[in-house]
Structure 1
Amino acid sequence: MKKKVILPKHKFHIKTGDTVLVIGGNSKGQRGVVKEVIVEKDRARIEGVAMITKHIKPTASNPQGSLVKTEGSVHISNLMLIDPATGEPTRTGRKVNEKGKLQRVSKKTGNFIPDPAIR
């Protein structure tokens, strides 16, 4: 039996390591760095944004149990990329760079946005 592979529905305008602004929801106006992009659910976890409280069950090593604060996820549509060159939120597009590869580009300034892994 073949293993079912889940492919993304579309390309995302943000990547892990990008700085983003939350433009909708309870965390509106907050900025943070993307820790993880959850492709299957079109969501992302952002450092210090959308904090939730998890209840941890008591175990032998932790007999009291505990409450842990952790980042929840935010839908991709509620995020806007912060242009690293200007520090302003911007929409993104895609253009072919001088090496012939598709790269994200800022709609505000027209500058290429460097890959977060390279920064």
Structure 2
Amino acid sequence: MAAAKIKKGDKVVVLSGKDKGKTGEVTRAMPKDGKVVVSGINIATRHKKPSQVNPQGGLERTEAPLHVSKVALADPKSGKATRVRFETRDGKKVRVAVKSGEVING
């Protein structure tokens, strides 16, 4: 299995769909499913009936997972979308932004 290019806590840019161009932070990564949950992006609305726990009922908004191919890491220098390369620096394998050559934390 390849190393994860996008991890929890990374800043990402949405490449396609209704939220195209928006940026957010990855709150959850699901590498087995190939999906990520990004804060404030891909909001799903559910209509909830009143219950004993929630007597009011109403709308419940949650962040739905996005496929990892629909997001790209945000470049640490410019904030634009970039691909990720793996390099060995000082004997450690690190993620590097292809556009700027900056090392990505994590």
Q: Could you state the TM-score of these two structures normalised by the residue count of structure 1?
A: 0.79
Q: CA deviation at 1:30?
A: 1.2
The reply to whether residue 71 of structure 1 matches residue 55 of structure 2 is: no
Q: Could you state the TM-score of these two structures normalised by the residue count of structure 2?
A: 0.88
> Which structure's CA Rg is the greater one?
1
Q: When you count strand as a share of all residues, which structure comes out higher?
A: 2
Point out 4+ residue stretches in structure 1 off by more than 4 angstroms: none
Number of aligned residue pairs:
106
- 5+ long unaligned stretches in structure 1: 1-8
**Secondary structure of 1:24's partner?**
coil
The reply to whether residue 104 of structure 1 matches residue 95 of structure 2 is: yes
Over the matched positions of the two proteins, sequence identity in percent amounts to 36
Structure 2 contact 13–80 (Cα < 8 Å) conserved: no
Q: Which residue of 2 aligns with 1:27?
A: 19
- 5+ long unaligned stretches in structure 2: none
Q: CA deviation at 1:17?
A: 0.7
Q: Which residue of 2 aligns with 1:3?
A: none
The alignment yields a C-alpha RMSD, in angstroms, of 1.6
The correspondence for 1:42, drawn from 16, 34, 42, is 34
Query: Distance in 1 between the 2:32 and 2:104 partners?
Result: 25
Q: CA deviation at 1:55?
A: 3.2
**Secondary structure of 2:78's partner?**
coil
**Secondary structure of 2:104's partner?**
coil
